[in-house]
């Protein structure tokens, strides 16, 4: 018997960057224990949270993620001793940067999920998915993907618009 599935207007895409030793095993445990969690999450396995470069998170948002989860071993449990300690500082800094440029941090979740915490994995993923679902799609990075330099100028303040008659003519002649 399948659990009853609810229909939603919006199914967010969630990308989860996880470490292979703890969170991946935790997610695996959730699976083998037949726990239910939203299928919105796409899991990407890394050796360690220390290997998860902030640029991966950007890339995920650019390519269509509405929410991102980064998860690894609890402090002290890192397979490589200190990878997650370094990651913790890097992500703390990265959050500040994202927030400064105007990204809503509610779309980005960090967690520690051990190999034994199948239940916690389910909770974390469910909570993030539902939160992002109520927030709706994330348009910012996706819009950038489809823009060219001049398309933003059109919306910029008057003095920054590229509007010389020659340019206008050239642009119009492209059709």
Phi, psi of 66 (to 5 degrees): -95, -20
Output 10 or 153, the one with its CB closest to other proteins.
153
- Indicate which single residue of 11, 28, 53, 77 sits in contact with other proteins (rule: CB under 8 A): 53
Number of residues that bind other proteins (CB under 8 A): 46
Residue 39 Cβ, how far from other proteins at the closest point, in Å? 21
Stretch that binds other proteins, among 16-24, 25-33, 35-43, 147-155 (CB under 8 A): 147-155
Q: Counting contacts by CB under 8 A, is residue 55 touching other proteins?
A: yes
Distance of CA 19 to CAs 11, 36, 154, 168, Å? 25, 21, 43, 52
Site for other proteins contains 174 (CB under 8 A):
no
Closest CB to other proteins among residues 8, 145: 145
Q: Does 100 bind other proteins (CB under 8 A)?
A: yes
Quickly tell me which residue has 């699976």 as its tokens: 31
Choice between 102 and 175, CB closer to other proteins: 102
Nearer to other proteins, 29 or 103 (CB): 103
Residue 96: is it exposed, middle or buried by C-beta count within 10 angstroms (0-12/13-18/19+)? exposed
- One of 73, 124, 132, 138 touching other proteins (CB under 8 A): 124
Identify the sign of the CA torsion 18, 72, 98, 136: positive
Alpha helices in 9-164 (DSSP H): 23-32, 54-62, 83-100, 118-135, 140-145, 149-155
């Amino acid at each position: 018997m399948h659990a009853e599935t609810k229909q939603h207007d919006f199914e967010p895409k969630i990308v989860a960057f996880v470490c292979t030793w703890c969170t991946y095993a935790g997610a695996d445990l959730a699976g083998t224990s037949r726990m239910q969690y939203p299928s919105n999450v796409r899991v990407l396995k890394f050796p360690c949270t220390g290997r998860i470069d902030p640029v991966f998170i950007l890339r995920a948002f650019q390519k269509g993620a509405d929410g991102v989860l980064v998860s690894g071993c609890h402090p002290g449990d890192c397979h490589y001793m200190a990878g997650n300690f370094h990651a913790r500082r890097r992500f703390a800094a990265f959050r500040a940067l994202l927030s400064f440029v105007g990204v809503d941090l509610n779309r980005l979740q960090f967690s520690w999920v051990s190999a034994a915490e199948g239940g916690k994995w389910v909770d974390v993923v469910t909570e993030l998915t539902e939160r992002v679902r109520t927030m709706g799609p994330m348009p910012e990075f996706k819009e950038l993907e489809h823009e060219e330099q001049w398309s933003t100028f059109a919306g910029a303040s008057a003095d920054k618009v590229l509007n010389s008659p020659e340019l206008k003519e050239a642009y119009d002649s492209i059709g």
